[in-house]
Structure 1
């Protein structure tokens, strides 16, 4: 009698847990709140974002690309505002000095925010060298992606200047630094260099064999990919390595074991995905590792019900997604949450191209409407 009662109670508890879990999975996706969150963030951010002022270009990317994946960018952002955004982006382009290009030829590209010592130059036609005013690989990628999302044809981008600078950012070991003179070199900037080269349709700025060798050497005994050789396998760097290899078409040379890397990634799924072994699930890794699996043609092995269920616990009442449940939203995790749901074909969302990290619609625009793709690739010498 006692044993039966205990078993019955256990069954009831399990049943309630399963019911709660099922309801959690069925939670509504707050479409309108997410649209409002990204629109609001384009105009105003909480004071906590002050420390990220030099990365405003990337924050803008999260908002614009988030609205694009939600399918409302064109209707929610007016043509006049789009043009203002485009002009602001071009004003952040570092061009060769008009009097002496050698002064800053190693610093070209896009900065992440306005430079206090310069006037606003929407057409960027008057350039003079200023010390410490430099482009940055991550922000250059964000700027180019933003221009594509806003419907610009990239005709004002100085491709040759960016490519020349990138040549000097690649290190002897094949890695890249974000800006000339930086000591920070790792796989994030290898991916940034590759995606910039892809968008510009010009690979002259990357020594591809050296970059692929670097990616190969970052793979660990677990077959995940680390930020740098000898470090711990990490979900973000695994995405960067796999996406860079996809962009260069060098999977066979760059992956030590495709099968074992896929196994390591799948082993990171708890409900959502953890970024490293023995860590909790975190919203952004649902995209970093889900995107890596999609590139590897293995996303079908993800338990999408559990993954979506976790994301619904980090969706906030204000719109946007948080890193973890019961935390406030932030732009990075909000965009990654939307991008991950796009991988799972959430109704109403546009499809994301994970290796480029923008919508497939935007990639099609890049290939058909921008000057660098209409003119064909620049031949490697």
Structure 2
């Protein structure tokens, strides 16, 4: 096929497809996906974002209100409001819904041209409660993540996809808050989680669902690599602190597995085996090395399977995390997506001849984006959304942390402490210690701003010493001991 005849991404048709998905009822086959509405909504909004088709102001407001209505009082987000009576909590929070809820809130804020809108994207999210919920979902023995709670215990398998969602949520909300800060929440056991991910590599180099005994899979491989990448991703710059495959036992075999997800696609063989959805002969792999490049390259997720649109994303996304995009035959792969599974009404089908669906249509776009399709926005592979949305998430998280800090400071000022009389304190040492501590907190540790609270006015009558600059030279413990002894002498007993 000549370069001029190469199929192209039909942006206009894709926008029409996604707007139809957004504004009308979805077809009947989606009924079984009703509990995952947040996921579907995120794919729809993110596709329009990648296609540079912004949402309207009313649509943004509606999305934001709906997403926040699914926030669970115990932390996290529910996938849909249809599994509980009106006025009740919308079911149980789960990892997937929470991940997509946060991305969707950012999607509702980008593209307005307002920095304030992006900073307020996470306003209303109960960050600390959510992170506490997230920590409880990690199993202590293996470090693997559950998906949801059942009778107070994490359940939902040991699937590596849960780890990916958890790592994404952690990066989106945790920030660089250190222990001792009022905004700090106990972190995931990162070391255990990394060990769990490392043990999923199988004999052929790919990653399995839970252990090395499971079948390798392109989707699990992407999720494993993204988990490691997100765990060591800078909260501010978005850059990885270390290679995504640093903790993978055999990186060379991993690359071999990913590169072999590609094979020469022949339409006649697809037709010949169309009755067998699972089988596809990969006898032509060697043709990828010939001087004459193939017209179409298909991708599968497992050995001896048919080409599938979504596996272009899992393979290309995983290779991009390893900075090995060059191992993907981008042009013939793009030709397959735009010439074979791109549908005439817009969207992408799973395989040739099938109708388009939301899942494959979205991952078809992300695959093209990671392969450098100029008609699409630049992609953030780890979060599977545009780089612009990832930047918005950073701004939203930082603004949420700043709001929490301001709220904590306000609570500190308005707790009534400063209006207490001395008689309301248990003892003068307690008053002196608390007033000095609060003053230091309010002035970021600058003792020069708190001289009045460090004077020995209260300590000296109790026997505390005084240094040259008038500051007590004994700690609260010594002052307390002196006061206790004074009380015993005066009253004959402590009381």
TM-score range, shorter chain: 0.7 to 0.9
Residues 1:136 and 2:94 aligned together = yes
Q: Structure 1 unaligned runs (5+)?
A: 1-18, 97-107, 121-127
Q: Is the 8 A contact 1:92 1:112 kept in 2?
A: yes
- Residues 113 and 311 of structure 1, relative CA distance in 2, 3 Å threshold: same
Aligned to 2:17: 37
Shift of 1:364: 1.4
Question: Where does 1:225-304 land on structure 2 (aligned, <5 Å)?
Answer: 225-229=207-211, 230-249=213-232, 251=244, 254-270=247-263, 271-304=297-330
Residue in structure 2 matched with residue 160 of structure 1 by the alignment: 128
Name 2:61's counterpart in structure 1.
Answer: 83
Say whether 1:311 aligns with 2:278.
Answer: no
Please give the alpha-carbon distance, in whole angstroms, between the structure 2 residues aligned to 1:204 and 1:194: 14
Q: 1:365, CA displacement in angstroms? A: 1.6
Higher relative contact order (CA 8 A, sep 6+): 1
Q: Deviation of residue 136 (structure 1)?
A: 0.7
Check whether the contact 2:172–2:397 (CA below 8 A) recurs between aligned residues: no
CA contact (8 A) 1:57 1:143 kept: yes
CA distance in 2, matches of 1:236, 1:196: 19
The structure 2 residue matched to 1:218, chosen from 163, 184, 200, is 200
What are the superposed Cα offsets for residues 41-87 of structure 1, whole Å, 9 maximum, x if unpaired?
Answer: 11221011000000000000110111111111x2xx21011101100
Structure-2 change in CA distance of 1:276 and 1:377 (3 Å): farther
Aligned equivalents of 1:309 and 1:375: distance in 2?
A: 47
1:204-242 Cα shifts (integer Å, max 9, x gaps): 442111111111110001111011102011000000000
- Shift of the 260–116 alpha-carbon distance from structure 1 to 2, 3 Å rule, reads closer
How far apart in 2 are the matches of 1:86 and 1:366?
Answer: 14
Q: Counterpart of 1:208?
A: 190
Match of 2:79 in 1: 112
Q: Which runs of 5+ in 2 are unaligned?
A: 110-119, 176-184, 233-241, 264-296, 406-495
Once residues 209 and 25 of structure 1 are traced to their aligned partners in structure 2, the CA distance between those partners, rounded to angstroms, is 51
Deviating above 3 A after TM superposition, structure 1's stretches of 4 or more consecutive aligned residues are: 22-25, 115-120, 202-205, 250-253, 369-378
Any conservation in 2 of the 1:169–1:176 contact (CA below 8 Å)?
A: yes
Q: Structure 1 residues 159-168 or 23-32, which shifts more?
A: 23-32
Note the C-alpha offset of 1:25: 7.0
SS in structure 2 of the partner of residue 284 of structure 1: helix
Give the RMSD, CA atoms, in angstroms. Answer: 2.2
Return the offset for 1:282. 0.8
Specify which of 194, 197, 200 is matched with residue 170 of structure 2: 197
- What TM-score results when the alignment is normalised by the length of structure 2? 0.64
Structure 1 or 2, whichever has the larger Rg, is 2
Which residue of the partner structure matches residue 371 of structure 2? 344
Shift of residue 253, structure 1, vs aligned partner: 5.1
Instruction: Give TM-score scaled by structure 1 length.
Output: 0.83
Shift of 1:356: 1.2
Specify the SS of the correspondent of 1:180.
Answer: strand
